[in-house]
Structure 1
Amino acid sequence: MGNKSWILYAGLLVAFWGVWGAFSALPTQLYRYPDQMVYIIWAFTMLIPCYVSLRGKRFDRRGIAALYGLLIGLAGAGGQLILFKTLTIGPAYLIFPVVSISPVITVLLALVILREKVSRLGWAGVILALVSIIMFSVPDSSKSGLQFGAWLMLAVIVCVCWGSQAFLMKRAANAGVNDASIFAYMTISGLLLVPVAFLTMPENGFDFGWKAPALTTAIQLLNAIGALFLVMAMSRGKAVIVSPCTNALAPILTIVLSLTFYHAFPSVWSFIGIVLALCGSTLMVYSEEAAGAAPTAPSASMR
């Protein structure tokens, strides 16, 4: 599949994270399951795709691999734990729009540090995708009482963590660290923070039947597998393309599933976001396809 394989893995990422996004809140809504328990279960579900990805692969024990891998994992898992805290002191409808612009961080780091090049058509797609992400996160106008506080600083930290995580995935791949090793270190990092989640958990964190943890395990396994596909897409594609593309498309599937199962209709802003995401992602994929085909054109004409 060559350099185009990132499209396949990005598509699988969108599929898994889109479904995960549609059902991720069910354990809390149905059983009031604590976020900390959701994190703990997610951390252990990471072991399943980690095992599968490592089969037949060499685990990279180099210092550079451990450094990048642990930084990637801590940025992702640490950001998740900070998000849980942020949601307890601030409004979710304002927090998530701040967090959702994390691809901007990825794009800026990829341009400045990785020196990734994008065609004009690709740039148009990137911009449309980034705008669509903002559209998906526009808060309901009926909600008022805008107040800034510590939650805003924490939300920005989460945004930076997740934006940096995607950039570090690409940086690690450029350093020759294979997908399986990156994901293995991510899994280790997530497990290292389990005690933190345990210590911050309410006293009744374990006072639930089997249904809540079983449902959480099934849902978070989608999240874990999606994370593996993110690593694989980042290692094969440009961070400046993959990050906004996947972050723009996954909410579309979430909205479609929410409409189907919950009869939750998207807002006008979300509908605009769907159109922009589809247009932007199409332009980005087409620009990368054209860039990949360009070098072969002269040799083809010589024959």
Structure 2
Amino acid sequence: MKAPVYLVLATLFWSGNFVVGRAAVTSMSPLDLTYWRWTFAAVPLLLLAHFAEKPDWRAVLGRWPALLLLSALGMSAYTLLLYAALGHTSAVNASLITAASPALIVVMAIVLLGEKATRLGWAGICLGLLGVLLVLTRGELQRIVSLSINTGELMMIGAIFVWGCYTIIARRLDIPAITSTAMQVLIASVTLTPFALALDVRLPETPAEGWSLAYIVVFPSLGAYLFWNLALKTTPPGTAGNYLNLIVVFTAVITVALGTPLTLVQIAGGILVIAGVLLTGMKVRGKAPEPAAPGRVA
């Protein structure tokens, strides 16, 4: 019974990243959050990987080109786009768009890898797309024609596209999940350092900023990965992946608890996205794409 608890905690921590990140970007830049998140998380993740997985570090370092590419996509580009988007859209909208990632990955696998989907699989993809479009247009689908869509939501579309590319590439990497994540985090910290110096990245200056960064480092960056990978020891990745739908639910609950009501469009869009993801995940034939570090979404 421990695995379901671990999976729920992991998704809860990732949900918090949307809400806390949304608050943090009002005073800190996306680069501030991204750089310090990975810099502070790098050493604990490396220690966790070393003692939990006992990898052959020489063999891991030999895969540096793939790790560098994955770090650029999954750690740097995705995270920067996520925090930049949260400066322009709500945490709920960002999480709803992110929830469409599994369907997008299936489409990319079909286009790029020649994988097949059934009619119900395509129906799920269309449902998820309709849900996202409802959120993007605030229920006014005619806004698509005029391209009147919020900048932050366009950034989130870019973020999940980057995540899709990351996932397609990462599935081929034969490195233990925590080790792969730790190395990508370390590489992100190193490669972002010149930009951090050039753009005068700053540490938190207020208690609110400090607590926000502390949450981002401890919970979605460390705790979520630990619980997720512990759960994967006894839970199939496909089953665990269904728990990712809880991110939308938890984000909505946290947002409402903090005093921001949900709209009917957000609720309808969320239902369509989750239903679409479930249909797509259950009805795809062939080998489903899985990330090397499953579930990293925030």
Tell me the TM-score normalised to structure 2 length: 0.66
Q: Secondary structure at the match of 1:24?
A: helix
Letter in 2 for 1:34: S
The AA in structure 2 aligned to 1:276 is L
Per-residue deviation at 1:75? 0.2
TM-aligned CA deviation for residue 201 of structure 1: 3.8
Q: Which residue of 2 aligns with 1:273?
A: 269
Q: What stretches of structure 1 of length at least 5 have no aligned partner? A: 292-303
- Matching of residue 197 in structure 1 with residue 196 in structure 2: yes
Paired-residue identity, %: 16
Evaluate the alpha carbon distance shift between residue 250 and residue 182 of structure 1 in structure 2; reply closer, same or farther with a 3 A threshold.
same
Change (3 A) 1:246 1:115: farther
Which moves more between the two structures, 181-190 or 158-167? 158-167
Match for residue 14 of structure 2? 17
Cα distance in 1 between the residues matched to 2:62 and 2:116 = 25
Report the secondary structure of 1:252's partner residue. Answer: helix
Which runs of 5 or more residues in structure 2 are unaligned?
Answer: 288-298
Query: What is the alpha-carbon root mean square deviation over aligned residues?
Result: 4.7
SS, match of residue 53 in structure 2: coil
Aligned residues: 268
SS of equivalent residue, structure 1 residue 171: coil
Distance 1:73 1:257 in 2: 30
Q: Give the aligned residue type for 2:166.
A: Q
Find 1:214's aligned residue among 195, 211, 214: 211
What one-letter code is carried by the residue in structure 2 that aligns with 1:83? L
What is the identity, as a one-letter code, of the residue corresponding to 2:167?
A
Give the C-alpha shift of residue 207 in structure 1: 7.4
Partner Cα distance (1:22, 1:157) in 2: 20
After superposition, what is the alpha-carbon deviation per residue over 1:144-187, rounded to whole angstroms, capped at 9, x for unaligned? Answer: 99679x99997775443222112223222xxx322123112211
C-alpha distance in structure 1 between counterparts of 2:124 and 2:213, whole Å? 35
Q: Distance in 2 between matches of 1:268 and 1:246?
A: 23
Aligned: 1:59 with 2:60: no
Contact persistence 2:46–2:182 (CA under 8 A): yes
Structure 2 partner of 1:165: 166
Any idea what the Cα deviations from partners look like across 1:233-284, whole Å, max 9, x if unmatched?
7x9546xx94xx5665422211111001x22111222111232244345546
- In structure 2, the CA distance between the partners of 1:135 and 1:160, relative to structure 1 (3 Å rule), is same
Residue equivalent to 2:181: 183
CA distance in 2, matches of 1:134, 1:51: 42
Q: Which amino acid aligns with 1:187?
A: V
Matched residues in 2 for 1:91 and 1:182: separation? 31
- How far, CA to CA, are the matches of 1:137 and 1:69 in structure 2? 33
Please show how residues 101-112 of structure 1 align to structure 2 within 5 Å. 103=102, 105-112=104-111
Partner of 1:294: none
Does the 8 A contact of 2:49 with 2:178 survive in 1? yes
Structure 1 residues 277, 41: CA separation in 2 closer, same or farther (over 3 Å shift)? same
Secondary structure in structure 1 of the residue aligned to 2:185: helix
Which amino acid is the alignment partner of residue 76 of structure 2?
A: G
| Cα distance in 2, alignment partners of residues 230 and 106 from structure 1 | 21
1:259 corresponds to 2:256: yes
User: In the alignment, residue 106 of structure 1 is paired with which amino acid?
Assistant: I
- The amino acid across from 2:31 in the alignment is Q
Task: Give the CA deviation at 1:116.
Answer: 4.8
Equivalent residue for 1:40, pick from 35, 44, 50: 35
Do the aligned partners of 1:18 and 1:253 also contact (CA within 8 Å) in 2? yes
Superimposed CA distance per residue, residues 77-96 of structure 1 (whole angstroms, 9 cap, x where no aligned partner): 331475389669x9658x96
Taking the aligned partners of 2:154 and 2:252, their CA distance within structure 1 comes to 28
Superposed CA offset, 1:117-151 (max 9, x none): 5565555445434443444444587xx99679x99
CA-CA distance at 1:42 after TM superposition: 0.9
Write the deviation string for residues 171-230 of structure 1: whole angstroms up to 9, x where unpaired. 22xxx322123112211222123321342246xx34714552233121343331446749
Question: Counterparts of 2:60 and 2:139 in 1: how far apart (Å)?
Answer: 48
Per the alignment, do residues 27 and 98 of structure 1 end up closer, same or farther by CA in structure 2, a change over 3 Å counting? closer
The AA in structure 1 aligned to 2:39 is F
